């Protein structure tokens, strides 16, 4: 076998976007064998152009996980009455079944198949709770998304973000009285996103936990 000569070569690959700094970190590499320096400015520009789309994809996915966990507002009666403390009607079985079907379809738009199945666990738990005659699910959602880091490299992106999530429900107490609660918490999320066949950013993995000092 002929001898192989290793020539000096420095190669740094990858592009990262850091939302905290509001900039995309570009890199270049030097090929000492040819004596030329090749810039990856075009790659950096392309990845930077994806930042807003990645953030939008993550935000839509998080909002989807919260919105599907509540029945449609039309099933809860007049909003004005609920605001005055009136007990909402219990959601019927047909509405709950439709919530499961519609919720799964929504999750499939924002998550890869495996991750959508994982997110559907919370959906099934929420619908199961709605069958409890002493519980009323009035809604859930997000009120704020703060990105701490966003990285884009080709067709893959990583996101770290803090998300304020909320829920609203009514619950019958042992003495028969109904109370309304509207808890809100800040969550720390880490996600990986990929491009689907339509070129849209969807979430392929998602981990979340209460931010320090937060919790139920």
Instruction: State residue 195's pLDDT score.
Output: 96
Q: What is the mean pLDDT of residues 134-143?
A: 95
In this prediction, residue 208 carries a pLDDT of: 96
- pTM, to two decimals: 0.79
pLDDT-based confidence at 105, cuts 50/70/90?
Answer: very high
Going from the N-terminus, what domains does the chain have, and what CATH number goes with each? 1-49 (no CATH), 52-210 (3.10.450)
User: What is the model's pLDDT at position 42?
Assistant: 60
Beta-carbon contacts of 120 under 8 Å, excluding residues fewer than 6 positions away, are: 103, 104, 107
Closest CA to 84 of 174, 176, 178, 185: 178
pLDDT, position 15: 34
95 versus 11: the higher-pLDDT residue is 95
Q: Please spell the DSSP secondary structure of 19-88, one letter per residue.
A: TTTTEEE--EEEETTTTEEEE-HHHHHHHHHTHHHHHHHHHHHHHHHHHTTS--GGGS--HHHHHTTPPP
Q: Does residue 158 have a pLDDT over 60? A: yes
Report residue 129's pLDDT band, with 50, 70 and 90 as the boundaries: very high
Section 186-214 average pLDDT: 96
Higher per-residue pLDDT: 27 or 165: 165
C-alpha 30/C-alpha 10 separation (Å) is 6
Can you give the pLDDT at residue 9? Answer: 30
Q: Using CA atoms, how far apart are residues 214 and 184, in angstroms rounded to an integer?
A: 9
Give the pLDDT band (50/70/90) at residue 86: confident
Give, in order, the Cα–Cα distances in Å from 1 to each of 4, 5, 134.
9, 12, 79
Cβ contact 204:192 at 8 Å: yes
Whole-number average pLDDT of the chain: 83
Q: Minimal CA–CA distance to 180: which of 137, 141, 215?
A: 137
Please determine, for residue 29, whether its predicted confidence score (pLDDT) is greater than 50.
no
What's the confidence (pLDDT) of residue 74?
83
d(CA 66, CA 72): 12
- Mean pLDDT across the stretch 187-191? 98
* Residues contacting residue 37 through CB under 8 Å, at least 6 positions apart: 28, 29, 30, 31
Residue 28: pLDDT band with limits 50, 70, 90:
very low
**Residue 12 reports pLDDT greater than 80:** no
């Amino acid at each position: 076998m002929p001898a192989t000569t290793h020539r000096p070569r420095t190669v740094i690959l990858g592009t990262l976007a850091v939302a905290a700094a509001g900039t995309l970190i570009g890199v270049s590499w030097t090929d000492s064998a040819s004596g030329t320096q090749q810039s990856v400015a075009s790659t950096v520009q392309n990845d930077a152009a994806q930042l807003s789309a990645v953030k939008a994809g993550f935000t839509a996915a998080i909002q989807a996980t919260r919105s599907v966990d509540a029945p449609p507002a039309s099933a809860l009666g007049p909003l004005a009455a609920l605001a005055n403390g009136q007990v909402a009607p219990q959601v019927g079985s047909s509405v709950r079944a439709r919530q499961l079907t519609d919720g799964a379809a929504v999750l499939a738009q924002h998550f890869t198949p495996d991750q959508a199945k994982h997110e559907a666990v919370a959906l099934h738990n929420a619908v199961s709770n709605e069958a409890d005659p002493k519980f009323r699910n009035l809604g859930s959602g997000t009120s704020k998304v703060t990105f701490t880091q966003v990285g884009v490299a080709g067709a893959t992106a990583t996101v770290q973000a803090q998300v304020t999530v909320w829920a609203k429900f009514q619950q019958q107490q042992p003495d028969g009285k109904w109370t309304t609660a509207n808890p809100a918490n800040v969550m720390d999320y880490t996600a990986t996103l990929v491009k689907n066949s339509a070129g849209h950013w969807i979430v392929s993995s998602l981990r979340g936990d209460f931010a320090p000092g937060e919790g139920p």
